[in-house]
Structure 1
């Protein structure tokens, strides 16, 4: 029983059943220990970044702690983007890195990096094991911290000599569990209730903290009881089903017009597990200018950080919403009932008036219509996105019914996230259909994980929207940089269907609107992993759009004002044909 074997058994005791990693010299004793730990399923991605994103997707989809492993030096540094993504989106992860032996630390030994210092700004906590006796406390604390309060990643850096040291004298590991969430104070609830009772134009502003706090049902009950219209952040999507009559959609830079106008006219914002991110608020000084704020969050640091909270409610969100629901039942039928009813009607009317249309002209594939249709054909699917235009189209047009079914890199906006995150989600929930929506730019960031899908026959379905450009950058260069296109041309893309086929994955192609339904059904019916290559217009843009340094009421939207759209220009002087 050495340190590595003790650690493997401790992971089992913490409830870990799957880990994602890549072996190397400094972590080799741990990989040897996996031979003796059949309870642990190890998944081998083809790059350490893939391992971190897969653990990330596993955690997001399941709500459990994701675990990834890498060796020292480049193995550890390749995990960094996935760790940062987990920190910014509050994803519970434990990251285990091998390290050179303690006597060589600080000597610039082969594959030595200060991963402890390198990751310090992007983890909840870091540990370096100096002795094998450090492991019991360290492992228990790592998992407790990762999943307690506001979740996040925790690093354990594990020197090789600690892994091979005798651990026979160490006690069997017992999980430290999770800290009980703090309950909100009565005073903060009374303050919130007073503001809610006085409001005539209230809006719920719901974020990712609802899913993190297991508060989805409590939130829905609160909405139904209070009949307050709701807007959702990117990570809050699914907290209310898309079709719920009080769901006005996503707010912010690419939010719906109904959502953004409601927020700008509200007299009260009830902020539930959201953090006033700049992509949600637009120009912060002009965000919801008439509104007082009730801010509910598990993290005291978020309350009042960017916007003064007239009532800050710190504590467990599910408990907060449940108690407020009971209290509101007796307070929301007073003198403002008629005003609130008129406000609801106005919000619903705008949602109908500005609802997305899917009758795009022409014979080409219209990406929003394709994504909406796919979500209808696979209503129970979990969707994992990469980053770019396709990410926003998914947020706008996918029919979502739970936030844990929408995996997206929100805070970091990391291209390359989607494919390995989908792999991780499929490992977390093997009985669930998982769809990865990617772009031709993003897919190339971690395209090697097609080999991982093939190895494990993971039945992830990939929809690759190919506009032969870095679409979001191209859109900004068109609108805000005088169409001075710079380094966004991807017209020399490979034949993605041929690439998928080379990896042994079923490959399909569609480039006409009248072929979309058949192609989507063929994708969903395919046995094992499959990729649908979708050719779309290079000039297609994401609308609406709030320009930089503007408030959310100042949206550009050709559906409302044709003058905001510059004439489409050819991105390259010599366009390249898409692969047949």
Structure 2
């Protein structure tokens, strides 16, 4: 929530304020600080932190909490650590404290001077590109983005958080950008003389570790409600709400039109993407994650939202998933938190009951956190979970190999063991009350997904996949440091390539 700038209120219990029974169960004891408790671990990841040691402190703490959670720039987690004994105390509360209050989400307009600087930058650019980030969704700026792009002929490329800001088939949507990006988007980004970020943090997967935007005289313009993000990497800041900012900026640049963009780039990429996701001919080979995505895509409907967080699938989905409408793609990639998937899918379904929620999760993430599957069943919140079982941590295994390392302790068959791993995911999910199906092929997967869509019950579909293949095109360099000294020839070769990329970037 902190990384993704999302509001959440955490109210963990704390030690006794009166310290009578100290030390209580689960209480740490700091020898040098009597006020320190385990809840202080929440301080670095809270936008606002408070410890309630008196009932009346809620009169100030709660308004501060809601102010933080509804501030578009400062939004994030709030932690109110609540002392156990104080939770039970009575207090003569003022009646007005319980009166209903509506907290409105502010839409700050841009500063006139910043707006003028941004307009001059765009009007002087020949090949600008828009990087659509999660702020487009947070602001509800989808229509404003479309209107801006169409009015000025500026292509849009999408981050993980920004994907689905424009429908995949919009003529000016050139696809995903960065390390997990499309050739079409990355080609446009590489030649851009002005990169216009809209609601993006410009994290390393978006920028190719700052090696992607390599036009020598390239400038950066960042439209963001948070000044911290608006001024990153020497950006021309435009601190404003994304929707208001785009509308105001469009008026400021008037009839400006970008140089025509090469439509063939988009057509070539999507033709390649289709070849990766096409169902394989019947055979004994394990399907790829790309082919699984194709099966899910073919069974998706207009109200489908696909969600994921960690492992192989985020990269493949970013590249290959065709998001047909805003908010149809949900990816937690600020932190890429393993185990978020099923809980996140349940949250989506609770927030939007009419959506067809499909959770994509690998066996590694599923093993880390799966108990919310039982919660979904218990609450009657129907979701569909697709478990791609590559028997370990395939994504990290490939990264290990790409940096010259030998395969070690990632795939279960390669890990130290006495007995081979044989996890029956269908039996496990079934024990928590879900309907289950083990698909032996892509054809069987599609059949199972069609049945799941028409069922009122939470369904888990499992399919074994090959842990090695990835798309043969697309993507960009990612700065993953390689050891300078190694006895392995493969590591030394990877280090040489790594140093060459560093020189190219710098």
* TM-score (normalised: structure 2): 0.84
Task: Name the SS for the 1:441 alignment partner.
Answer: helix
On the 8 A contact 1:237/1:402 being kept in 2, the answer is: no
Pair 352,453 (structure 1): closer, same or farther in 2 beyond 3 Å: closer
**CA positional deviation for 1:255:** 0.9
Q: Indicate the SS of the match to 1:407.
A: strand
Does the 8 Å CA contact 1:120/1:126 hold for their aligned counterparts? yes
Q: 188, 200, 209: which is aligned to 1:262?
A: 188
Structural mapping, 1:140-179, within 5 Å? 140-150=63-73, 151-171=75-95, 172-173=97-98, 174-175=100-101, 177-178=103-104
Map Cα deviations across residues 407-443 of structure 1 (whole Å, 9 max, x no partner). 3221211100000111111111222221111001000
CA contact (8 A) 2:12 2:39 kept: no
- In 1, Cα distance between equivalents of 2:291 and 2:139: 33
CA RMSD of aligned residues (A): 2.4
Confirm or deny that 1:549 pairs with 2:479: yes
Q: Is the 8 A contact 1:372 1:399 kept in 2?
A: no
Q: 1:130, 1:159 within 8 Å by CA — same for their partners in 2?
A: yes
Does residue 297 of the first structure (1) align with residue 224 of the second (2)? yes
Contact 1:140/1:175 (<8 A) preserved: no
Structure 2 residue 443 is the aligned partner of structure 1 residue 518: no
1:251 paired residue number: 177
Out of 284, 297, 316, the residue aligned to residue 375 of structure 1 is: 297
Paired residue for 1:384, among 307, 312, 315? 307
Q: 1:138 to 1:347 in 2, by over 3 A?
A: same
Contact 1:237–1:250 (Cα < 8 Å) also in 2: yes
Which runs of structure 2 are paired with 1:121-140 in the superposition (5 Å)? Answer: 121-140=44-63
Match of 1:209 among 135, 158, 168: 135
Q: What pairs up with 1:396-545 in 2 under 5 angstroms? A: 396-402=319-325, 404-489=327-412, 492-541=421-470, 543=472, 544-545=474-475
C-alpha distance in structure 2 between counterparts of 1:302 and 1:416, whole Å:
28
| Structure 2 residue matching 1:248: 3-state secondary structure | strand
Distance 1:443 1:493, change over 3 A: farther
Q: Distance in 2 between matches of 1:148 and 1:210?
A: 16
Match of 1:44 in 2: none
Give 1:198's aligned residue: 124
CA distance in 1, matches of 2:335, 2:437: 31
Distance 1:141 1:413 in 2: 29
Cα deviations by residue, 1:439-472 (Å, 9 ceiling, x for unpaired):
0100011122222122112201101111112011
Q: Deviations over 1:375-433 (max 9, x none)?
A: 34323112221301022222222222455333322121110000011111111122222
Distance 2:47 2:101 in 1: 19
Counterparts of 1:232-251 in structure 2, within 5 Å, are 232-251=158-177
Q: Could you tell me which residue of structure 2 aligns to residue 25 of structure 1? A: none
1:182 paired to 2:111:
no
Q: Distance between the aligned counterparts of 2:374 and 2:445, measured in 1?
A: 27
Aligned-residue offset at 1:245: 1.5
Alignment of 1:112 onto 2:27:
yes
Distance 1:283 1:399, change over 3 A: closer
* Match of residue 229 from structure 1: 155
Q: Structure 2: how far apart are the matches of 1:437 and 1:515?
A: 17
Any runs of at least 4 consecutive aligned residues in structure 1 with deviations exceeding 6 A, and if so which?
none
Distance 2:431 2:298 in 1: 30
| 1:488 Cα deviation after fit | 2.8
Q: Secondary structure at the match of 2:386?
A: strand
**1:125 shift after superposition:** 0.7
1-structure distance, mates of 2:398, 2:195: 31
Deviates more, 1:539-548 or 1:199-208: 539-548
Query: 1:493: how far off?
Result: 4.1
> Do the aligned partners of residues 348 and 449 (structure 1) sit closer, same or farther apart at CA in structure 2, a change above 3 Å counting?
closer
CA contact (8 A) 1:465 1:536 kept: yes
Gaps of 5+ in 1: 1-85, 551-563, 565-580
The corresponding residue for 1:324 is 249
- Contact 2:189/2:212 (<8 A) preserved: no
1:501/1:234 CA distance change after superposition, 3 Å: same
CA gap 1:537/1:158 in 2 versus in 1, 3 angstroms: same
Contact 1:239 1:401 in 2 (8 A): no
1:325-370, Cα deviation, whole Å (9 max, x unpaired): 23334233xxxx6xx11x3446445545654423465534343233
Deviation string, structure 1 residues 36-87 (Cα, Å, up to 9, x no partner): xxxxxxxxxxxxxxxxxxxxxxxxxxxxxxxxxxxxxxxxxxxxxxxxxx00
**C-alpha displacement of 1:121:** 1.0
- 2:15 matched to which residue of 1? 100
Structure 1 contact 228–246 (Cα < 8 Å) conserved: yes
Distance 2:105 2:431 in 1: 48
Q: 2:267, 2:305 → 1: CA distance? A: 30
For residues 103 and 231 of structure 1, do their structure 2 counterparts lie closer, same or farther at Cα, with a shift above 3 Å needed? Answer: same
CA drift of 1:286 comes to 5.9
Cα distance in 1 between the residues matched to 2:347 and 2:479: 37
Q: Hey, what's the Cα distance between the residues in 1 that align with 2:262 and 2:250?
A: 18
- Residue 501 of structure 2 is matched in structure 1 by none
Most deviating of 509-518 and 105-114: 105-114
SS at match of 2:317: helix
